[in-house]
């Protein structure tokens, strides 16, 4: 099994933990605060990963350049906006539809990779992306009425448009992070990923922290009060991001994000085995499609 596959699966599991913690935080603080936590509490862990490589393995840090800076700025900005929109979806009673559309990220990443990096995915990867995205969307709308009319009209709902925008920005950020890591040109994929992560998360923390101090200082107190969950969120988020960056240095962003749909299987498993919720036929078929998409990706991607 290729290394990027193992890393991606691990990152997807960690992201599932981070998302669960972030959703909990949305109940005790605002959207901006819950968005900041991912970056601000993750930054120390990002520096820890880089320090472990420098002092543990004795690697030499690569020289930064203008291309790297541009990609980092693009990725960091897009990810902040995408995260904000995704967390904002939790405010909607019927946020499932919006969340489903946010999962179009791999397809949108494939388009951005073609436009900005000139990377065309294989027909097998395209098929895998399409199959897995359909599976995720099927699970996400499992508890809503599913008709041709509802599917068409749902696209124009406010939460669906927010979800699409979130997926677009996540797709852009994924491609930007691959571009940034590749722009460093060495010394190895782990160091390139760690440097990209440190620069990105530092920029995001400064931007979000400055905004909070300027616009909503009361949110800072709510963040401090929930520091334990926030610290867990930051650790899980930074670890997941390090995994994504490593995987996307080794493999195309769209392909990595297609395999990352396995995160929905982790979420689904937790729902069934820990919360003892019943399985609907639509959710079962959604899982089957995700697994099928992953198998197609591994076989033909």
Q: Do 201 and 39 meet the contact criterion of CB atoms below 8 Å apart?
A: yes
C-alpha to C-alpha distance for 255 and 41, rounded to whole angstroms: 29
Q: Do 181 and 193 meet the contact criterion of CB atoms below 8 Å apart?
A: yes
Q: Percent helix, strand and coil across the chain, each rounded to 5?
A: 80, 0, 20
- DSSP symbols for 55-121: IIS-PPPPPP-HHHHHHHHHHHHHHHHHHHHHHHGGGSTTHHHHHHHHTTHHHHHHHHIIIII-PPP
- For residue 114, CA distances in Å to 109, 136, 232 come to 9, 24, 36
pLDDT in 10s for each residue of the chain, 301 residues? 799 999 999 999 998 888 878 777 877 888 788 889 989 999 999 999 999 999 988 899 999 999 999 999 999 999 989 988 887 876 665 555 666 677 788 988 999 999 999 999 889 999 999 898 888 777 766 666 666 665 555 556 777 788 889 999 999 999 999 999 999 998 999 999 999 999 999 999 999 999 999 988 889 999 999 999 999 999 999 999 999 999 999 999 999 999 998 887 887 776 677 656 677 787 788 888 888 988 898 887 6
C-alpha to C-alpha distance for 60 and 154, rounded to whole angstroms: 51
Q: Please state the domain extents for the chain.
A: 3-120+149-255
- First-to-last C-alpha distance (Å) of the chain: 13
Cβ contacts of residue 120 below 8 Å, gap of 6+? 114
């Amino acid at each position: 099994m290729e290394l990027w596959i193992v890393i991606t699966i691990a990152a997807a599991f960690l992201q599932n933990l981070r998302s669960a913690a972030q959703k909990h935080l949305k109940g005790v603080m605002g959207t901006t605060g819950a968005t900041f936590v991912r970056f601000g509490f993750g930054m120390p862990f990002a520096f820890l990963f880089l320090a472990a490589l420098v002092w543990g393995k004795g690697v030499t840090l690569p020289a930064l350049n203008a291309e790297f800076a541009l990609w980092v700025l693009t990725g960091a900005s897009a990810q902040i906006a995408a995260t904000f929109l995704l967390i904002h979806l939790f405010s909607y009673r019927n946020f499932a539809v919006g969340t489903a559309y946010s999962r179009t990220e791999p397809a949108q990443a494939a388009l951005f990779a073609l436009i900005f990096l000139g990377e065309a995915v294989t027909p097998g990867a395209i098929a895998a992306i399409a199959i897995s995205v359909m599976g995720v969307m099927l699970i996400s709308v499992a508890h809503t009425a599913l008709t041709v009319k509802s599917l068409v009209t749902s696209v124009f709902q406010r939460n669906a448009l927010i979800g699409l925008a979130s997926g677009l920005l996540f797709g852009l950020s994924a491609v930007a992070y691959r571009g940034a890591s590749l722009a460093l040109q060495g010394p190895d994929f782990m160091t390139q990923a760690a440097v990209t992560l440190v620069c990105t998360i530092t920029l995001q923390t400064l931007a979000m922290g400055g905004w909070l101090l300027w616009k909503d200082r009361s949110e800072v107190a709510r963040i401090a009060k929930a520091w334990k969950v926030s610290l867990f969120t930051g650790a899980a988020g930074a670890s997941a991001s390090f995994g994504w960056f490593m995987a996307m240095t080794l493999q195309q962003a769209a392909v990595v994000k297609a395999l990352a749909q396995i995160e929905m299987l982790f979420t689904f498993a937790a729902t069934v085995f820990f919360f003892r919720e019943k399985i609907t036929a639509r959710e079962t078929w959604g899982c089957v499609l995700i697994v099928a998409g992953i198998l197609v990706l591994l076989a033909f991607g």
